[in-house]
Each structure stands twice: as structure tokens, then as C-alpha cells.
Amino acid sequence: MKKLYFLILLSFSGIASLANHITGGEMYYTLTGQQNGNYTYHVTLKLYRDCFSTGAALDASAPISIFDNATNNSVWGNSVVRDSIVRLQIGTPNPCINNPPQVCYEVGYYSFTVTLAATTKGYTIAYQRCCRITGINNLTGSSTVGATFTAQIPGTTVLPTAPQNNSARFRGADTVIVCANNSFCYDFGAIDDDHDVLSYGFCTAYTGGTSGNPAPNPPSAPVLGTNGIYPAVPYTENPFTADAPLGPKVTLDPNTGMMCGVAPAAGIYVVTVCVTEMRGGVLIAIQRKDLQIKVGDCSLTTPRLDPAYITCDGFNLNFFNQNDNPLVHSYIWSFGDGNSSTLPAPSHTYADTGTYAIKVVVNRGEPCSDSAVAQAKVYPGFFPGFTFSGICINKPTSFFDTTRSVYGVVDGWSWNFGDLSSTTDVSTIKNPTYTYTQTGTNHIRFIVSSSKGCIDTVDKDIMIVDKPVLNVYPKDTLICVGDQVQLQAFGSGIFSWTPATNISSTTASNPIVNPATTTNYVVTLNDNGCINQDTARVRVISFVTFPLGPIRLFAQLIRYDSVRQQMD
């Protein structure tokens, strides 16, 4: 029995391994005819597979279902035979790319024709396949995560003529070289035969199928009542999400579908783009493209600079090309003040404040010559800082920005109050307040910026207690009737003393008292509503007595000394 169980495990392991091959897909359709409220569509499914994948080949047929969005019931289903496979490959990479990756996709086409009656909510066409490839950087456990590819046929509720629709089709090239930490662009633009207004946005990739059932036949229905939405893939988060699949440095133009930015670290990333079709101001349908972008460990000769180099504590700046490419072997830097350098990473000291235009040219006069520009901002005299008051639990703690700026004005604040029990312990106002619900030490991080581009960080620790720290000196003292003594209270907040008799001030931290009789002076410290108390005891006596023996001996010594002086 154990041997049989082991063989079964091996069999399922082999199936899961072979299933790891999906690298993306999309679905679209064309209206080919209509009659008596029935519409005929020619539907095409495109599936992508990495040419160098060791997983399964593209399936010979694809189980596809069509669901009525009003009921989620399947109204059509079939295994669609594959029409063809097209190999897309970049054969001759740009010679100015160091260590270019191999980019190659096998694209499988599956098409069919279907006639559907117009409905109020329209239809969702769906195909599912598991699994995606191993090691996708922005997904958790990608080798067990499937994919669902869909297309939407609109219903009459949005527009009576909505079913008379040709879906948007993505037109961009599927092959592109993307180098880690380098600038790039990828075209997710689409065309629409109906001339609907198109807009673009990142959207959630769908999961579908399992390792045990990699090609569901029929595919599962959408989530009930969601008009064609399927469960989302598990993004790794921080910084990768459905809205930022390549991190915060890559954005998508909503008008053109052009995805541009600085690529993340080398790896594989799932990117899903939705294109919405608007007709007469009404949303008709949403089409999707789910693609895995391969980011290579390569680099371009194009130099990469910071958008701005800023010094706020002096006149010196250091410059360097962030794109470390061995194909670059010469530099010409212009610092914007008439000075230049041919060093790879020069340092330059400006004579005056101001904003300067920086330019670097690499490999001037050669085939792989390129350039980049940036700004240098020289505005010394930026002094960040903050203070705080109130350190008690469940009472507001106030924070005060004390930053000074010689040039420009302070205009940006970012506070993190260091409360590990909360996700909302942040603020962007100048002088915020925050209430801590636990005692202990909290690490405050304050990031402040100016209109000249200066930015700096201040870190401080704050100890939250159940009551404010208070000490009194002296705690117990002795005076004679008619004498006075100064008391001293140490703490942060508002002081008040009782009783209010024979005391110079009831609100000072260091009042002078001269009680006629022994008195306990109680001081109360109020730190933003947080209270603590302490007591100074002042004992009062009428006179001081000494033993008689020592006094007589002292007098005799004085007389003896007087007689001795006369004899001398």
C-alpha cells in the first residue's frame, strides 16, 4: 500500500510540474452577423508559452464556456481545437544592451464561432488553465496559481445596441527586452472596430484551475453577482499589487496604454491590463490581457541619473551613472555652471545657490552613444527638527515641527509615530497629535521637505507612561519659625501646589514657602490631562536645644584662652 501511495504522489507531482507553463493570455471577439435579436461572434483565445519552458506544451484543445451574467449559468461550452502556434522571438537584440536575455514566446490561437441571444446583463466567455510558472516575483506560490482569461459581451441594460459590439483587441508587440533597474516602455494599446473610446488601467490577474485539475472542463463560473469577475491571484504585496504589478516606478498611461518606467529587479512579473470600451459615455465592456513580463539581468548604455541632485547642507554634489554597463567607457559631464568633467563619477562644488541643468554624455561619437539630463539644486541652510509634549497612555501626544529653511519654505511633512500595534500611526500635517494606547518606547520618524526640494529625516524615541515623571526636592526638611525654604518640582507639564498658604506661587515649579507650622505641600503635575502627585514635608520648630555639658566646656575653653593671652 505504501508503494502505491508513493507512486500516486509521483504521478500528481509530475502532472503539476508539466502543467507549469502558462505565461499569459487574452481573449477577444468580432461580430460577424445579427438577426432577430441573435448575434454571431467569432471568438479568439491567445495563449502564451515561454519557448524555453520545461513545462507542458500548449494544449491541443481549450475547454471554453460562456456564462450568462444575469444567472451565472453556462449557456455554451466546448473544447476548442487549437488553430495554430506562432513563434515570436527577438532574434538580434540591440548591440547596446549588455547581457541581453532571450525573449521568445509560443503563441497558441484557438477560435470558434457562436450565436447568442441578446440578454440584459450580457455574457462572460472564460477559459482556465493551471498553472503559472515557478518563481514569479510578484505572486506567492506561483507554481500552484492558475489563470482565467475572459472576454465580455455586453447586455442591453447598459445600452440597447450594446450586444452589437466588437471587442477591443490589444495590438502591441508581445516581445520586448526589459532590463532590471533600467527605463523601458511596453505597449498595451488596443484597437476597436466600433471606434469606442478606450481607456487603460492595471487590474487584478485572475486565478483558475488547480494542480489536481489543471484544465477544468467546463471552466468554473464567475463569482456570483459580479458580472464576470473571478478570484484574484495572491500578490506578494509591498511593493507589488494589482495596481502596481511592477512596483511604484512603473505606470500605465490611461489614454494610450503605454506602460513605462524603471523596471524592478530581475525576475518574472505578472502584469494584467484592462481596457474599457466607452460608447456615448456609457461603459460597454472590459477586455483583459494577462502577461508575464520577464525582466532580465541586463543593462543599456543609456545613462540613468536621479531626477534631481540636491544639497541642503553645503555646496558640493557627487554625480554618477546608476546604469553600470561595461559597454560604457567614456563620460562627458556638464554641471550647468560652465564647468565639466570626464570622470565616471565626478564631485563638483558650486560657487552659489541655485538650480543647475546637468547633462552627461556617454561614448560620444560612437554607435552606442547616449545621454541623460537632470537638475542640481543647491540650497544649503535646511535644519530639520521637532519637539513633542504629552507622554501618557490614552492621552494625546502633540508633535511640533521646528524645522528652519534659509531658502524656500517648509512644505512637506511625513510622520510615523512608531506604534507597532497600529497601521494608522501616520500623519502628513505640520503639527499633529497622536494617542498611544500602550506604554513603552516608540520610535518616531519625521521626514520633512521644502519647496526647494530639500528633504531630511529626524528620528527620536518617546517613552509612553501611565503617569508623568515627577520628583520633588527636598522631600523632607526642617526650618525654624519665621524661616523660609525653596521647594523644587521636576517634571514636564503644569504644576499646582496645595495648600495655597505661606507659598510664593501655587503654579511655579520652584515656589518659596514659610509655613508657621509643619505642613505637607502637595504638588500636582498635569501633562495634557495625565496626572501625577508628590509631597514635600516642611517641619517647623520654635528653637533648637543643645546639651549643657558641651556648652560649659566650650565656655571654659574660651576663659582659659583669654587668661593665657593676658599672661603672655
Q: How confident is the model at residue 237 (pLDDT cuts 50, 70, 90)?
A: confident
Mean of pLDDT over the chain: 89
Q: Where are the beta strands (DSSP E) in 426-529?
A: 426-427, 433-435, 440-450, 455-464, 471-473, 476-480, 485-486, 488-490, 494-498, 512-513, 519-527
> In this model, does residue 16 exceed pLDDT 60?
no
Q: Are residues 120 and 145 in the same domain?
A: yes
Q: 128 with 210: CB under 8 angstroms? A: no
Q: 5 with 12: CB under 8 angstroms? A: no
Q: Are residues 275 and 307 in the same domain?
A: no
pLDDT tens, residue by residue, 240-282:
999 999 999 999 999 999 999 999 999 999 999 999 999 999 9
Whether 175 is covered by a domain: the verdict is yes
Burial class of residue 135 in the structure, from the number of CB atoms within 10 Å of its CB (0-12 exposed, 13-18 middle, 19+ buried): exposed
Q: Are residues 64 and 87 in the same domain?
A: yes
pLDDT tens, residue by residue, 62-104:
999 999 999 999 999 999 999 999 998 887 777 888 888 888 8
Q: Are residues 188 and 208 in the same domain?
A: yes
The residue range of the domain holding 414 is 384-464
Q: Are residues 36 and 157 in the same domain?
A: yes
Whether 27 is covered by a domain: the verdict is yes
What is the percent of the chain where pLDDT is above 70? 92
Q: How confident is the model at residue 545 (pLDDT cuts 50, 70, 90)?
A: low
Q: Ramachandran region of residue 70, left (φ > 0), alpha (ψ -120 to 50) or beta?
A: alpha
- How many residues can be counted in the chain? 568
Three-state SS for 419? coil
Q: Are residues 220 and 181 in the same domain?
A: yes
- Could you give the CA distance from residue 343 to residue 359 in angstroms, rounded to a whole number? 13
Q: Where are the beta strands (DSSP E) in 36-96?
A: 38-50, 61-68, 74-89
Q: Residue 484 corresponds to which cell in the numbers above?
A: 523660609
Whether 99 is covered by a domain: the verdict is yes
In this structure, what is the dihedral angle of CA atoms 475, 478, 481, 486, given to the nearest 10 degrees? -40
pLDDT tens, residue by residue, 107-141:
999 999 999 999 999 999 999 999 888 889 999 99
Longest dimension (CA), the chain: 150
Rounded to an integer, the average pLDDT of 480-492 is 93
Total count of domains within the chain = 4
Q: 151 with 279: CB under 8 angstroms? A: no
